[in-house]
């Protein structure tokens, strides 16, 4: 027997319709790549998103065609999200921080028909245009008065396209399993792989994001998503903001602490989200200036492990709750979040901080387990480490254009992370499977060592990799960037770490460098470090 409720397809256009009807005067504020600031309402935004859909149709874009964006977080980018997906096309958010050859690969692989780009990226695409085989139009996301001189063919002004349309457009209804968005992984171990989201998966992911234990978003929230819209859909925040009717503030191309702090104070930001490196810079700015964080209440941090000292400082000095999150492009991305549940609310502050350093509990809709190499499920005891496996309605099934599933026979997706889960359900990433250091048959967590090291007052950033050792197979090498004018010896680091990690975990050597390499998504590139130090001989060799 089937239920007898309305078969209402879960389409992302519903979020914008909701915002337009129920929160029409709520603001969207945008810092612009061409300079200045733009401010309008959800009612205005909805009209322009419909005009965007009309303009795309006029350019020949049809159902399931791919529309690429190479853009910062702005109101125009969000219009394209809703305009392209709402009409039944696929919005392909391209990460400009990928290598040029990767950019060419993914746009050709996706068979994008239109590329909408911010003026910032025109010089980059001019160098690549001859290799982009399927792009028919280049839409520069500015008005005619800011259009640059360019060698790009078939160039159009975004604002000209919008101005030519009426906005008299009704969002079509179609199957909720229709493709909605396309993101590619950062391709650290080969060509980037495409993850094709559906309307249904994005809709369900948004409902999850709006739960009180997740991103803390309500209609009263003022949100600054510093995480880029080309990083796994900015963690779904633009959809969630429209679904809640929250005020939304976009920082455009500006990621410096001074500009972000100005937005936080002037716009009354209450919720924000970004990777740890953004907040490291912010804490230094706050310490240097003596400023506070205004109305900010919650910072969600993901992308890589958050150092304990960062969580503690935000909460103790500035009254800002830090929620540690975990996810990946393949999980849309929210998989777990470290909000406090009833089981831990009566623990000591130190114990609570210990739990906050973990990557959080699996969210409703995501099943999570850890397995050994033979596929056996390991206990949730906070000690047993194994392969982190997930499944759920917004977790990948098959990579775009791949010829086999990305999951096992039971639907589990192997995340590539090594983790443990404690008795309260909080998961902790101990390493990437390819980054864990195997020393004498035991595992050393490079993440734990890095987080302990960055608490050293002279250390700005730290990375740990395994280096060959004839007796122990591998031993940890710590690579650090120090604060200006400082130095840290191996002996000094050992003394600092000796009460924080197991003695046999202490790095065999500490090397200071000017800069640690990062991936296109802002994570430390362990592969680059391993290549750099492939012939390094430890002093304990």
For residue 489, what is the domain's CATH number? 3.30.300.30
What total number of domains does the chain contain?
Answer: 1
Under 8 Å between Cβ of 195 and 399:
yes
Tokens of 300: 């969600």
Instruction: Please list, in sequence order, all residues whose beta carbon lies within 8 angstroms of the beta carbon of residue 397, skipping any fewer than 6 positions away.
Output: 405, 406, 407, 411
- Start-end of H helices in 295-436: 308-318, 349-356
pLDDT band, residue 472 (cuts 50/70/90): confident
Tokens of 268: 């009354």
Tokens of 385: 């480490």
Among 112, 57, 118, smallest CA distance to 90 is for 112
Instruction: Please list, in sequence order, all residues whose beta carbon lies within 8 angstroms of the beta carbon of residue 95, skipping any fewer than 6 positions away.
Output: 184, 186, 228, 230, 231, 520, 521
Under 8 Å between Cβ of 201 and 332:
yes
* Interatomic CA distance for residues 498 and 505, integer angstroms: 9
Q: Given a cut of 70, is residue 188 above it in pLDDT?
A: no
Number of H helices, E strands in the chain: 15, 25
Average pLDDT for residues 401-428, to the nearest whole number? 95
**How confident is the model over 307-365, as pLDDT tens digits?**
888 999 999 999 999 999 999 999 999 999 999 999 999 999 999 999 999 999 999 99
**What average pLDDT is seen over the chain?**
94
Residue 528 lies in a domain: yes
Under 8 Å between Cβ of 457 and 469:
no
For residue 323, is it left (φ>0), alpha (ψ between -120 and 50) or beta?
beta
**How confident is the model over 54-65, as pLDDT tens digits?**
999 999 999 999
Average pLDDT for residues 267-291, to the nearest whole number? 94
Average pLDDT for residues 15-22, to the nearest whole number? 98
Q: Is the dihedral of CA 477, 483, 487, 488 positive or negative?
A: negative
**How confident is the model over 418-450, as pLDDT tens digits?**
999 999 999 999 878 788 888 877 778 888 899
Residue 455 lies in a domain: yes
* Interatomic CA distance for residues 126 and 153, integer angstroms: 9
Q: Given a cut of 80, is residue 130 above it in pLDDT?
A: yes
* Interatomic CA distance for residues 238 and 281, integer angstroms: 24
Range of the domain at 482: 435-532
3-state secondary structure of 238: helix
* Interatomic CA distance for residues 324 and 155, integer angstroms: 42
Active site residues: 185, 330, 438, 443
Among 288, 283, 349, smallest CA distance to 317 is for 283
Backbone angles phi, psi at 31, to 5 degrees: -80, 135
Residue 346 lies in a domain: no
* Interatomic CA distance for residues 74 and 372, integer angstroms: 44
Other Cβ atoms less than 10 A from the Cβ of 72: the count is 25
Characterize 251-288 residue by residue with b for buried, 16 or more Cβ atoms within 10 angstroms of its Cβ, and e for exposed. Answer: bbbbbebeebbebbeebebbbbbbbbbbbbbbbeebee
pTM of the predicted protein model:
0.87
* Interatomic CA distance for residues 56 and 40, integer angstroms: 22
Residue 454 lies in a domain: yes
Residues facing 466 on adjacent strands: 476
Residue 458 lies in a domain: yes
Residue 495 lies in a domain: yes
- Start-end of H helices in 290-401: 308-318, 349-356
**pLDDT in the model for residue 190:** 72
Average pLDDT for residues 191-217, to the nearest whole number? 95
**How confident is the model over 524-541, as pLDDT tens digits?**
888 899 999 988 999 877
Q: Given a cut of 90, is residue 134 above it in pLDDT?
A: yes
Other Cβ atoms less than 10 A from the Cβ of 321: the count is 18
Under 8 Å between Cβ of 506 and 475:
no
3-state secondary structure of 171: coil
* Interatomic CA distance for residues 17 and 122, integer angstroms: 33
**pLDDT in the model for residue 46:** 98
Characterize 150-188 residue by residue with b for buried, 16 or more Cβ atoms within 10 angstroms of its Cβ, and e for exposed. Answer: eebeeebbbbebbeebeeebebeeeebebbbbbbbbbbb
**pLDDT in the model for residue 68:** 98
Among 168, 162, 183, 207, smallest CA distance to 109 is for 183
* Interatomic CA distance for residues 468 and 466, integer angstroms: 7
How far from the centroid of its chain's Cα atoms is residue 181's Cα? Answer: 15
Residue 132 lies in a domain: no
Under 8 Å between Cβ of 394 and 367:
no
Residue 110 lies in a domain: no
Taking CA atoms, 134 is separated from 65, 85, 125, 196, in Å, by 11, 19, 14, 19
**pLDDT in the model for residue 2:** 95
Residues facing 222 on adjacent strands: 247
Other Cβ atoms less than 10 A from the Cβ of 379: the count is 12
């Amino acid at each position: 027997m089937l239920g007898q409720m309305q078969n209402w397809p879960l389409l992302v256009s519903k979020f914008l319709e909701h915002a337009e009807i129920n929160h029409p005067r709520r603001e969207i504020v945008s810092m612009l790549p061409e300079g200045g600031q733009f401010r309008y309402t959800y009612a205005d935004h909805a009209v322009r998103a419909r005009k965007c859909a009309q303009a795309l149709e006029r350019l020949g874009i049809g159902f399931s065609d791919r529309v690429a964006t190479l853009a910062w977080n702005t109101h125009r980018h969000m219009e394209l999200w809703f305009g392209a997906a709402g009409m039944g096309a696929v919005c392909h958010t391209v990460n400009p921080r990928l290598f040029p050859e990767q950019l060419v690969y993914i746009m050709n692989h996706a068979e994008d028909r239109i590329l909408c780009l911010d003026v910032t990226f025109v010089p980059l695409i001019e160098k690549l245009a001859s290799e982009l085989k399927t792009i028919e139009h280049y839409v520069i996301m500015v008005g005619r008065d800011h259009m640059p001189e360019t060698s790009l063919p078939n160039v159009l002004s975004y604002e000209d396209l919008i101005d030519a349309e009426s906005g008299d457009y009704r969002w079509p209804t179609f199957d909720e399993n229709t493709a909605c968005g396309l993101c590619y992984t950062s391709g650290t171990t080969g060509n980037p792989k495409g993850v094709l989201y559906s309307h249904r998966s994005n809709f369900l992911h948004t409902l999850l994001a709006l739960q009180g234990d997740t991103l803390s978003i309500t209609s009263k929230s003022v949100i600054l998503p510093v995480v880029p819209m080309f990083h796994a859909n900015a963690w779904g925040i633009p959809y969630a903001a429209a679904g809640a009717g929250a005020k939304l503030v976009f920082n455009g191309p500006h990621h410096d602490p001074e500009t972000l702090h100005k937005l936080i104070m002037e716009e009354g930001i209450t919720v924000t989200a970004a990777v740890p490196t953004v907040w490291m810079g912010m804490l230094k700015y706050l310490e240097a200036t003596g400023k506070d964080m205004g109305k900010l209440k919650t910072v969600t941090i993901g992308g890589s492990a958050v150092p304990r000292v960062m969580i503690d400082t935000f909460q103790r000095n500035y009254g800002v709750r830090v929620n540690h999150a975990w996810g990946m492009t393949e999980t849309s991305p929210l998989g777990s979040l470290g909000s406090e549940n009833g089981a831990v609310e009566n623990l000591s502050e130190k114990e609570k901080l210990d739990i906050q350093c973990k990557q959080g509990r699996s969210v409703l809709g995501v099943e999570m387990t850890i397995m050994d190499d033979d596929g056996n499920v390991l206990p949730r005891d906070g000690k047993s480490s194994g392969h982190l496996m997930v499944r759920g309605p917004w977790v990948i099934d098959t990579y775009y254009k791949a010829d086999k599933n990305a999951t096992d026979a039971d639907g589990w997706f192997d995340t590539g992370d090594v983790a443990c889960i404690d008795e309260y359900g909080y998961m902790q990433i101990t390493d990437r499977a390819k980054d864990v250091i195997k020393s004498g048959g035991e595992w050393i967590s490079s993440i734990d060592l890095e987080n302990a090291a960055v608490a050293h007052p002279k250390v700005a950033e730290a990375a740990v990799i395994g280096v060959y050792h004839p007796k122990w197979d591998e031993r940890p090498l710590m690579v650090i960037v120090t604060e200006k004018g400082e130095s840290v010896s191996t002996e000094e680091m050992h003394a600092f770490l000796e009460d924080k990690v197991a003695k046999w975990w202490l790095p065999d050597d500490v090397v200071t460098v000017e800069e640690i390499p990062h991936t296109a998504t802002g994570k430390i590139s362990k592969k680059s470090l391993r290549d750099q130090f492939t012939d390094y001989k430890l002093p304990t060799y």
